[in-house]
Amino acid sequence: MSTKVVKFGGSSLADAGQFVKVGNIIKADGARRYVVPSAPGKRYPKDTKVTDMLYACYDAAARGADFTEMFEAIVKRYMDIIHDLGLKIEDRLVREFSTIRMSFLARAGRDYAASRGEYLNGIVLAEYLGFAFIDAAEVIFFGEDGKLKLKETCHAVKERLSGLEHAVIPGFYGSMPNDTVKTFSRGGSDITGAIVAAAVSADVYENWTDISGYLVCDPRIVPDPEPVKVITYRELRELAYMGAQVFHEDAIFPVRQAGIPINIRNTNRPEDDGTMIVEEAPDSVSPYVITGIAGKKGFVTVTIEKDMMNSELGFGRRVLEAFENYGISFEHMPSGIDTMSIIVHKDEFEAREKEIIRQIETSCKPDRVYIDRNIALLAVVGRGMKSQRGTAARIFAALAHAKVNVKMIDQGSSELNVIVGVEDEDFETSVKAVYDIFVTQKL
Ligand code: ASP
């Protein structure tokens, strides 16, 4: 029998109505056997996620302030859900909340506090689905150094689930060697889902959220962009680095290593296929040459000019040392015969600008150093570029046509992406122009 591990994000479980959608999704496919829930998220834009309520409530308790009202608001979120679903577990929840309250008073820690959001939601969801509940603290282990012990964890999860047809394992937390609770970083239920999928060698890891997967570009720039049907892990890394975020990056490793594809799906539109994230994909599965466009504003280019630079041994190293000494990592480094440009994050650079320039002047004796501020970087990513001639030509023709002045070009040797530097103010126009030529016009 095939096995799917399904993780539901906070917005998918924000209230009883969302629980019903989740229940229908699980019932629709018998392979959806192991379920990883987040804590209830926002029900409407101005709402507060239960995780944030728990942090705030615990902080008040730890300060010795009265936290009754905040605590009651959290209790109400769960009680509303169980009452609206008609679940008879009020007594159980009252007992759980009493333990949590005592633990807050005993300063059990912020991680413990935040983890209760997923823990309680797991109890409610298991009851609603009629599945077994497994406390993640019993199967997800961190070492003394706070790092996940993947091997031990996978072993424990596998053993625990081996006799169970179905189960709910709350996301986001596990336990330390001294049995205290530790959480992953924010959004970490994605990681729990990935671990469970790897442990049971799932056929697919479905990650249910409130969007139908990745879009070719940011919908705030191009209204209603096309969805990405299939993306490789490497393409995803390029796009995520440049700002396209749907999925917790640390969740990729366990499933990628185990060769399990991830399917990003939309709880509110289960009929959509969503995005498949896979190791390898033929170019033919993508209708366009490119897979996605992402990018960010807020970079600076520092250009160093020196006659005969190319014959001066160690010049590049000395330039980079100046950045390294002040803790600044560089993003790109295009160079000419007598010039070298270093592209860095504006905020980080400007905080140490004077010291860095002084060091470059002393150690490199350049003829000239100039700084170009307000640079945006645009990443055009696609595995299809490799086999397609003229991709770069089309990108630059589109930008020229849109009257965008290109300040920098960098094509990775993987031929997976082309990075273009433009003025901050041209960023949106550039994204639109590239989208238009590859997607709208399908050139
Ligand atoms: N509830 C946690 C958070 O808000 C973890 C998660 O949702 O994945 O960050």
pLDDT in tens, the chain (443 residues): 799 999 999 999 999 999 999 999 999 999 999 999 999 999 999 999 999 999 999 999 999 999 999 999 999 999 999 999 999 999 999 999 999 999 999 999 999 999 999 999 999 999 999 999 999 999 999 999 999 999 999 999 999 999 999 999 999 999 999 999 999 999 999 999 999 999 999 999 999 999 999 999 999 999 999 999 999 998 988 888 777 777 888 899 999 989 999 999 999 999 999 999 999 887 666 788 899 999 999 999 999 999 998 888 999 999 999 999 999 999 989 888 899 999 999 999 999 999 999 999 999 999 999 999 999 999 999 988 888 888 889 999 999 999 999 998 988 777 788 999 999 999 999 999 999 999 998 77
Phi/psi for 213 (5° steps) reads: 95, -165
For residue 181 and ligand 1, the question of a CB distance below 6 A is answered with no
For residue 116 and ligand 1, the question of a CB distance below 6 A is answered with no
For residue 183 and ligand 1, the question of a CB distance below 6 A is answered with no
* Alpha carbons 251 and 171: distance in angstroms, whole number: 12
For residue 39 and ligand 1, the question of a CB distance below 6 A is answered with yes
Nearest to residue 112, comparing CAs of 173, 48, 49?
173
> Which atom of ligand 1 is nearest the CA belonging to 117?
1
Give, for ligand 1, the residue of 8, 116, 121, 189 to mutate: max count of ligand atoms closer than 8 Å to Cβ.
189
For residue 40 and ligand 1, the question of a CB distance below 6 A is answered with no
Secondary structure (3-state) at 33: strand
> Which atom of ligand 1 is nearest the CA belonging to 49?
4
Domains of the chain: 4-210 (3.40.1160.10), 292-442 (3.30.2130.10)
User: What contacts 24+ positions apart, CB below 8 Å, involve 219-228?
Assistant: 221/428, 221/431, 221/432, 221/435, 222/431, 222/432, 222/435, 225/435, 225/439, 226/287, 226/288, 226/439, 227/272, 227/274, 227/275, 228/275, 228/291, 228/292
**Residue 150 alpha carbon to ligand 1 centre in Å:** 20
For residue 37 and ligand 1, the question of a CB distance below 6 A is answered with no
**Residue 186 alpha carbon to ligand 1 centre in Å:** 5
H or E stretch including 56? helix 50-62
Inter-residue contact 252 to 233 (CB < 8 Å):
yes
CA distances from 273 to 126, 189, 228, 415, 422 (A): 26, 22, 10, 28, 34
**Angle of the 50-62 helix axis to the 90-105 helix axis, nearest 10:** 40
Nearest to residue 360, comparing CAs of 439, 428, 303, 426?
303
* Alpha carbons 7 and 371: distance in angstroms, whole number: 46
Question: Six-digit token pair at 254?
Answer: 């366990």
Question: Where do we find the tokens 């290109």?
Answer: 406
Secondary structure (3-state) at 424: helix
Sheet with strand 417-423: strands edge to edge: 339-345, 292-305, 368-381, 417-423, 408-411
Question: Six-digit token pair at 167?
Answer: 């189960």
287-312 b/e (C-beta count within 10 Å ≥ 16 → b): ebbbbbbbbbbebbbbbbebeebeee
For residue 247 and ligand 1, the question of a CB distance below 6 A is answered with no
Determine which residue's CA is closest to atom 2 belonging to ligand 1.
Answer: 187
CA distances from 206 to 31, 61, 262 (A): 11, 37, 6
Q: Which ranges of 244-390 would DSSP assign to H, the alpha helix? A: 252-257, 315-325, 346-364
Determine which residue's CA is closest to atom 6 belonging to ligand 1.
Answer: 187
The predicted structure's pLDDT at residue 322? 96
Kindly give, in sequence order, each residue whose CB lies less than 8 Å from that of residue 422, ignoring residues fewer than 6 positions away. 375, 376, 378, 399, 404, 405, 406, 407, 430
- Of all residues in the chain, what percent are helix, strand and coil, respectively (each to 5)? 45, 20, 35
For residue 170 and ligand 1, the question of a CB distance below 6 A is answered with no
For the whole prediction, is pTM greater than 0.85? yes
H or E stretch including 102? helix 90-105
For the chain, give the number of residues: 443
DSSP letter at 438?
A: I
DSSP letter at 14?
A: S
The predicted structure's pLDDT at residue 208? 97
Secondary structure (3-state) at 16: helix
CA distances from 125 to 15, 122, 426 (A): 11, 5, 47
